[in-house]
Amino acid sequence: MRSLILCLLLTLSSTCARAAFAIQPWPEAAESLQMPPMQHWIGPARAERPFELCALYPHLRDAYWLSVNQGMVEEARRLGVGLRVHEAGGYAAQDEQARQLAECVREGSDAILLGAVDGPTLAEAIGQSPLPVFGLVNALPPEQVVAQVGVPWYQMGWRIGHWLAERHPAGTPTRRVALLPGPEGRGGNNLVEPGFATAIAGSAIELVETLRGDNSREIQRSLVQRLLTRHPNLDYLVGGAMAAEVAVNELARRPPSAPHSNPQPRAPAVLAIYFSHGVERALLRGKLALANSDQMREQGRLAVAQAVCLLQRPAASEAQCPRHMGPAILTLAGPLPARRSTLSDPAFRPVYRVEPSLSPTAP
């Protein structure tokens, strides 16, 4: 406890800076709503040798993975370890990510931090890797990985649904909702949907349609336009960050009603399952009602710290090097409490290589 207090207070010290993390262990079951209490974990101060970490992302074309990237880069530099980043090109790129798993070995990496595009199809490639594999953001079966960092995405869906159900309980007028969770069966979407469905069960919320598609602006715009055409009297539109951004823009483009004419259908309120820079802007302008943040930049930091901790101490206890953890999920109707835990800086651009350096760096 004394060391935790010192590290929290001495934020200008290169030895302690960012070594103290607020973490939430994962529940035993992915569908659990009973989250363990928050804990404080003191991560490694500096790496004992210049480890090389190989990070594999589904893509780097949106704010989510860009923010994960900055967190990983920050922590790699703080710890003095090397980092190589590869992106698969999208959630349909299973073959490319399997090839990249082998590429990490050829590059001489010490460990792989895997943001999996599709865990089941990568099971064989993961099993064949001689390197320790750490799950990053997208959950993998525990038997496939040494450890993992992320949040339960069932909770991400449940929290949005619970907010709606509390405002529209059974016996009140029915409210029509559409869901755009992102790619089918990819990332955390296979857990978001049942979490959302559980939360709205027995309420006055009616899920009228679910449309799935890749997280590209063009695809999500097409899905949003289709929903608004099919359901002109929609009350809520719930989607991933890209879908929420597009929906806010599409609704802003609706022409105002002419005087004495029939009014335009009432615009649905937009809710975001996860966060982005565009989601933040819409939330602050009052164009978006609610959004979850799973603090993805902090997840990037935690993933690097966890990997270094277990590379240095493979037999460490759970308290010394937690195996299944993530930051708290924030459900917000207003500003982020700590922006640098969620979003990348405005000027940040993807970094694909960090050279190892065990000389101290400034925080």
Q: What are phi and psi of 52, to 5 degrees?
A: -110, 120
* Residue 86 in this model has a pLDDT that exceeds 80: yes
What's the pLDDT band for 5 if we cut at 50, 70, 90? very low
Strand partners, 147: 134
DSSP H/E element including 181: strand 175-182
Q: Which two tokens stand for residue 150?
A: 């992320």
313 or 259, higher pLDDT: 313
Question: Do 25 and 325 meet the contact criterion of CB atoms below 8 Å apart?
Answer: yes
Strand partners, 25: 325
Q: What are phi and psi of 117, to 5 degrees?
A: -75, -30
The pLDDT assigned to 258 comes to 46
- Find the angle CA(205)-CA(211)-CA(215) to the nearest 5 degrees: 120
Please report, for the chain, the start and end positions of each structural domain, with discontinuous segments joined by +: 2-150+297-327, 153-293
pLDDT digit string, tens, across residues 145-159: 999 999 999 999 999
Greatest extent of the chain over all pairs of C-alpha atoms, in Å: 74
260 or 247, higher pLDDT: 247
Q: Which of 176-185, 293-302, 350-359 has the highest mean pLDDT?
A: 293-302
Domains 2-150+297-327 and 153-293 share a fold: yes
What's the pLDDT band for 356 if we cut at 50, 70, 90? very high
With a pLDDT cut of 70, the percent of the chain lying above it is 89
- Tokens 């659990």 label which residue? 32
Strand partners, 209: 178
- CA separation for the pair 361, 363 (Å, rounded): 6
- Tokens 């997840």 label which residue? 299
Three-state DSSP class for residue 77 = helix
* Residue 12 in this model has a pLDDT that exceeds 80: no
* Residue 296 in this model has a pLDDT that exceeds 60: yes
10 Å Cβ neighbour count for 243? 29
Which residue from 284, 246, 252, 279 is spatially nearest to 267, judged by alpha carbons? 252
| Beta-carbon contacts of residue 306 (< 8 Å; ≥ 6 apart) | 43, 134, 147, 149, 321, 322, 325
175 or 28, higher pLDDT: 175
- CA separation for the pair 116, 101 (Å, rounded): 10
What is the mean predicted confidence (pLDDT) over 326-350?
Answer: 96
74 or 257, higher pLDDT: 74
Strand spans (E) along 26-126: 39-42, 52-57, 82-87, 111-114
Of 20-29, 104-113, 143-152, the range with the lowest mean pLDDT is 20-29
Q: What is the homologous superfamily of the domain 153-293 according to CATH? A: Response regulator (3.40.50.2300)
Q: May I ask the CATH architecture of the domain 2-150+297-327? A: 3-Layer(aba) Sandwich (3.40)
Task: Provide the angle, in degrees to the nearest 10, between the axes of the packed helices 217-230 and 241-252.
Answer: 60
Torsion of CA 125, 128, 133, 135, to 10 degrees: 30
The pLDDT assigned to 196 comes to 97
